[in-house]
Amino acid sequence: MTDDAAGFRLVGLFNSIGTDFDALRPSLWGPAGQALVDELDIRPGERILDICSGTGASALPAARATGSAGTVVAVDFASELLDIAAANAADEGLEIDCVVADVTALKAGTSPCVTPFDVVACSFRVFFLPDMDDAVRNVLSLLRPGGRMGASIWHADSLREFSETYRASVAEVAGETSHQGPRSGSRMPISHIDTEESVSQWFTTLGARKVDTSVYRLRIECTPDFAWKLVVGTGMRGALTPLDDEQIAQVRQVFLERLASEGPAEVNCDTLIAVATV
């Protein structure tokens, strides 16, 4: 990665949340991953590169879509997440090739990208890539002519009320901490690509010939169980890293009390899906 220190921090963060991350798959990552694969219109026998694969949110439905005649290569730098992805695939009788690697270092003509891919999929992680523009421009070069890359991204309206309540709860207990997730309030890469217009323009500047966009509407009841899973199973967990166990328990209590009294009753998890054809 271009920033080794930041890269190591992200590896550590995502490896540390493996089980908690996967706990969100039935309600969040799985449905959104299936929606991404549906928009990509994956056909039997196609070669799929699933980048920043996590525990298989889009790799698993991609494997179902391409079938035994196809190939799914799942790449992530977090080995513990890929171990879970491999186990999830085995449980479903699916074959995916899990590769622990830095997505930004993938090169056409070298393993695992010796042959061009028909499809690249990236579920909820493209905005974590360092130097996002260069990284995705390189990923697009791994596609055959006419190939397509699909990315799922938090929509501009998603998570806002939930994240604001979480940030206020952390601040009440411990003051401001860094890295409170994609809706941290700071100007992060996701803010450049979280509308249909902006993500379409972005992919076009990177060389896409055509970009199709849609919004997958996903609202999930804001139960205490789901709310805390969403904190500890996503990048929002980063805000808890400098806190001790007692402070984390206090944040959890304050946060859940705020949600109970102020809402929201459901979490807006609307997902922007963009499919770029090269």
For 231-277, the pLDDT digits (tens) are 999 989 989 989 999 999 999 999 999 999 998 999 999 999 999 99
* Residue 215 clears pLDDT 80, i.e. is over it: yes
Residues 53 and 75: their CA atoms lie apart, in Å, by 6
With 0.85 as the threshold, say if the pTM is over it. Answer: yes
* Residue 127 clears pLDDT 50, i.e. is over it: yes
In this prediction, residues 130-137 reach a mean pLDDT of 93
Q: What confidence category does residue 4 fall into, taking pLDDT thresholds of 50, 70 and 90?
A: low
**The predicted structure's pLDDT at residue 17:** 72
**The predicted structure's pLDDT at residue 173:** 96
Helices 196-205 and 132-140 cross at an angle (nearest 10°) of 70
CA 107 to chain centre: 22
The pLDDT mean for the chain works out to 92
> What's the token pair of residue 32?
């959104």
* Residue 186 clears pLDDT 60, i.e. is over it: no
pLDDT, tens only, 59-77: 999 999 999 999 999 999 9
> What's the token pair of residue 154?
């938090």
Cis peptide preceding 44, ω within 30 of 0? no
**The predicted structure's pLDDT at residue 27:** 97
> What's the token pair of residue 27?
């309600």
DSSP state letter for 179: -
CA atoms within 13 A on the CB side of 260: 9
**The predicted structure's pLDDT at residue 188:** 67
The Cα angle at residue 233 between residues 100 and 153, in degrees rounded to 5: 75
Q: What confidence category does residue 14 fall into, taking pLDDT thresholds of 50, 70 and 90?
A: low
Are the beta carbons of 209 and 275 closer than 8 angstroms? no
> Going from the N-terminus, what domains does the chain have, and what CATH number goes with each?
4-156+186-222+269-277 (3.40.50.150)
Are the beta carbons of 34 and 60 closer than 8 angstroms? no
